Structure 1
Amino acid sequence: MSHGSPGDGLRAAGTGGARPTSRDVARVAGVSQATVSLVLGDKWRGRVSQRTAGLVRDAARDLGYRPNLAARNLRLGRTRTALLIVPALTNEFFARVYTGAATVAAEHGFGVVLYPSPEGVGPAKDPFASARAALDGVIASSMAAQALTAFHGTDLPLVMLDSDPADPGAAAHVNLDIADGMRQVTDHLLALGHRRLLHLASAVTSWTFDVRARALATALQAVPDAALRTSHAPLDVDGAREATEAALTGPVPRPTAIICDDDILAAGACKAVRRLGLRVPEDISVTGFDDLALATAVEPELTTVRLPAEQVGERGMAALLAVLGGRAPEEGGIPVELVARGSSAPAPSA
């Protein structure tokens, strides 16, 4: 360690007239940036010697260093703003997630900025010139962590909703018990005597849809006379209708039930069944997933899995607040519930 004055150290290091940083203070005082942060944040007692603390303060004074208040406020959670990234604004599920997050945020004096990813499930771009200066943290729903590279390395805590818990880089995960929801649907149809099943799966690559497919296949493993086919469809009514029509007009035996990855796909499946001169549920049962407003707008009303989207948003914002406060977020999946309505009935007899 140099025994010259801090000013000598600065002249040796050379700042070229630029505003001094904590790195300059650390270099002049001969300590780490972490030590500078502890001393200037008045958290050094019991962790740094009094002599070292004096060196840091002297260096900061002689350099004319002033802490970056915006960065300090960010670390302490004082910008009081969270960013919620969703794949789309047109899906009711994400609107309800936002409502839940905003409700909890308001109770703690926070605001929530809603931002749709331009590319759906990713990658999401930084909507600000610098998220680091404008936000306390990021919440992302139904996306992959690797789609959020714009926020990596920003020191912003990231909370992932309805996403792969194995994805690295998240400070917390909040997930629905999606697998149990698909098990409930499968058990419901099996109890009604259905054995020929069509899975109308989302064509979107996403953890939440992968979980549904795995849970369905696992639930049918113990049923030796069950037959499962899968057709993929885009997440819109017309695409789902076309995919269902193609599946129902093929040479293989017609399924007695269609299990759809969400209610929008189920609405398309119901249209396809009717266009082929068949009836829901007398000839083919149809089930959805999400319990959107659409589920009770169609006729017959959809049997579906109710996902408490607002609770997802509430838990997500609570998890971010816990991380910012140095606390452990609540753990455990959020339960989901099968809602049986008119679109499912006993399988037709041979």
Structure 2
Amino acid sequence: MAGIRDVARLSGTSIATVSRVINNSGYVSAGVRKKVEAAIRETGFQPNAGARLIRMQESRMVALMLPALDVHFFGILAHEIEQELFARGYTAMICSTAENPESEARYVAALLSQKVDGVLVVSVTEDSHAFQRLQDAGIPIVAIDRQLPDVTPHAVKADHRQGMRMAAEHLLALGHREIAILGAPGHSWPIQERLEGAREALATAGIAPLCIGIGEIHSFEACRDLMLSLFDQGHRPTAILGMTDIAAIGAIHAASQRGLRVPEDVSVTGFDDLPAARYVVPQLTTVAQPVRAIGRQAVNELLALIAGEAPPAPLPGALDLRMVLRGTTGPLIRRSGGSTQGR
């Protein structure tokens, strides 16, 4: 016997959209309604009270689930999304999971009871177990900054690999070959993608990273201490690829504590272009991520799904990354005897 999932699959819509058509509740465009009605006829689906999975009224509430709020990137993202939702008649319910998958599962249970209209999520990992419950309830989901491939095809993110390749290629063009990689948290999909991008760029140049420090705590102090430990192990890079601006700033402080000048003795790059990147001295060379555009595009896609419409594509170039050159990178300085800076 055909079910509501079969209708959604055949019509190319979500369970929530099929539910709205069946119950005549909530907005569905005329074109989408025709697709759903045609799929109902073709499958022979017979809705009943126990199978509808329908909310009779929209809550006009959207949940935003983030792994942290004390990381500036997520704070900016949350602000942009909350403002965009409010301007379009929705209330944002912001949930911080503290990088904990168990907290994600608890929040999912809370969101189901709150009957939210949709969910925007920056997941801790790509594990979709907790979010499957939202999908089963017919709640539209858009992933941000990383994918949830088993739950939703809708993800709004920058190209993390390409961004890190850009940073590595910048250092290589300056003559650096002894390059360290520093970042956190290691379980983060974007960090894993950035690490692969850095490795790819270095491999293309015929070299491997001098050393890699990937921690699990993404804080200035933790990244500084991680870089200090690499120095103490005898590593003397001429350049450091920070997987985030926070990691890069931690590396700058670690270099200063070991008597190294930036960029004369060691060049440093970051990733994100947070406001803090302009507050350090010298200002941080970094890869700028379009966090505000990502937030707006995620809202556009989710509200389209809620309305039963096809999500709009981002404007050309809106989610592109760009290299921002500031004062923390410079050309490799070769000293007498053929030695290089930082040695």
> What is the TM-score normalised by the length of structure 2?
0.77
For 2:272 and 2:258, the matched residues in 1 are separated by 26
Residue 120 and residue 296 in structure 1: after superposition, are their counterparts in 2 closer, same or farther (change >3 A)? Answer: farther
Query: Which 10-residue stretch deviates more, 330-339 or 215-224?
Result: 330-339
Who is 2:324 aligned against? 339
Question: Equivalences for 1:284-295 in 2 at 5 Å?
Answer: 284-295=266-277
Residue 232 and residue 48 in structure 1: after superposition, are their counterparts in 2 closer, same or farther (change >3 A)? Answer: closer
Secondary structure of the corresponding residue to residue 289 of structure 1: strand
Quote how far apart the aligned CAs of 1:107 are.
3.2
Quote how far apart the aligned CAs of 1:104 are.
2.7
Letter in 2 for 1:340: L
For 2:39 and 2:158, the matched residues in 1 are separated by 42
For 1:205 and 1:69, the matched residues in 2 are separated by 34
Secondary structure of the corresponding residue to residue 104 of structure 2: coil
Letter in 2 for 1:71: R
Alignment partner of 1:143 out of 124, 140, 147: 124
Q: Is the 8 A contact 2:125 2:187 kept in 1?
A: no
Alignment partner of 1:180 out of 162, 182, 188: 162
Question: Equivalences for 1:133-212 in 2 at 5 Å?
Answer: 133-146=114-127, 149=130, 152=133, 153-164=136-147, 167-212=149-194
Alignment partner of 2:112 out of 131, 136, 147: 131
Who is 2:3 aligned against? none
Alignment partner of 2:242 out of 254, 260, 270: 260
Who is 1:282 aligned against? 264
Q: Is the 8 A contact 1:124 1:148 kept in 2?
A: no
Q: Which runs of 5+ in 1 are unaligned?
A: 1-34
Q: Is the 8 A contact 1:200 1:260 kept in 2?
A: yes
Who is 2:82 aligned against? 102
Quote how far apart the aligned CAs of 1:111 are.
1.4
For 2:23 and 2:218, the matched residues in 1 are separated by 53
Residue 105 and residue 256 in structure 1: after superposition, are their counterparts in 2 closer, same or farther (change >3 A)? Answer: same
Larger radius of gyration: 1
Alignment partner of 2:231 out of 228, 248, 251: 248
For 2:23 and 2:195, the matched residues in 1 are separated by 53
Query: Which 10-residue stretch deviates more, 102-111 or 190-199?
Result: 102-111
For 1:270 and 1:46, the matched residues in 2 are separated by 61
For 2:331 and 2:212, the matched residues in 1 are separated by 21
Quote how far apart the aligned CAs of 1:303 are.
0.6
Question: Equivalences for 1:1-350 in 2 at 5 Å?
Answer: 41=24, 71-73=55-57, 78-120=58-100, 123-127=103-107, 129=110, 131=112, 133-146=114-127, 149=130, 152=133, 153-164=136-147, 167-225=149-207, 227-233=209-215, 234-252=217-235, 254-331=236-313, 334-349=319-334, 350=339
Residue 189 and residue 173 in structure 1: after superposition, are their counterparts in 2 closer, same or farther (change >3 A)? Answer: same
Quote how far apart the aligned CAs of 1:213 are.
0.8
Residue 336 and residue 116 in structure 1: after superposition, are their counterparts in 2 closer, same or farther (change >3 A)? Answer: same
Secondary structure of the corresponding residue to residue 338 of structure 1: strand
Q: Which runs of 5+ in 2 are unaligned?
A: 1-17, 26-32
For 2:251 and 2:242, the matched residues in 1 are separated by 8
For 2:38 and 2:141, the matched residues in 1 are separated by 31
Spell out, residue by residue over 1:180-211, the C-alpha distance to the aligned partner (whole angstroms, 9 max, x if none).
21111111111111111000131430111111
Q: Is the 8 A contact 1:159 1:316 kept in 2?
A: yes
For 2:39 and 2:285, the matched residues in 1 are separated by 60
Q: Is the 8 A contact 2:132 2:151 kept in 1?
A: no
For 2:195 and 2:37, the matched residues in 1 are separated by 55
Q: Is the 8 A contact 1:288 1:304 kept in 2?
A: yes
Quote how far apart the aligned CAs of 1:326 are.
2.0
Letter in 1 for 2:91: G
Residue 242 and residue 199 in structure 1: after superposition, are their counterparts in 2 closer, same or farther (change >3 A)? Answer: same
Q: Is the 8 A contact 2:263 2:329 kept in 1?
A: yes
Residue 122 and residue 184 in structure 1: after superposition, are their counterparts in 2 closer, same or farther (change >3 A)? Answer: farther
Spell out, residue by residue over 1:107-161, the C-alpha distance to the aligned partner (whole angstroms, 9 max, x if none).
3211111110144466503446552543001100253352561662222111101
For 1:40 and 1:281, the matched residues in 2 are separated by 64
Secondary structure of the corresponding residue to residue 273 of structure 2: coil
Quote how far apart the aligned CAs of 1:72 are.
2.2
Residue 145 and residue 219 in structure 1: after superposition, are their counterparts in 2 closer, same or farther (change >3 A)? Answer: closer
Letter in 1 for 2:167: V
For 1:122 and 1:147, the matched residues in 2 are separated by 12
For 1:68 and 1:221, the matched residues in 2 are separated by 54
RMSD of aligned Cα (Å) = 3.3
For 1:232 and 1:295, the matched residues in 2 are separated by 20
Residue 148 and residue 300 in structure 1: after superposition, are their counterparts in 2 closer, same or farther (change >3 A)? Answer: farther
Letter in 1 for 2:182: L
For 2:156 and 2:307, the matched residues in 1 are separated by 17
Q: Is the 8 A contact 1:122 1:148 kept in 2?
A: no
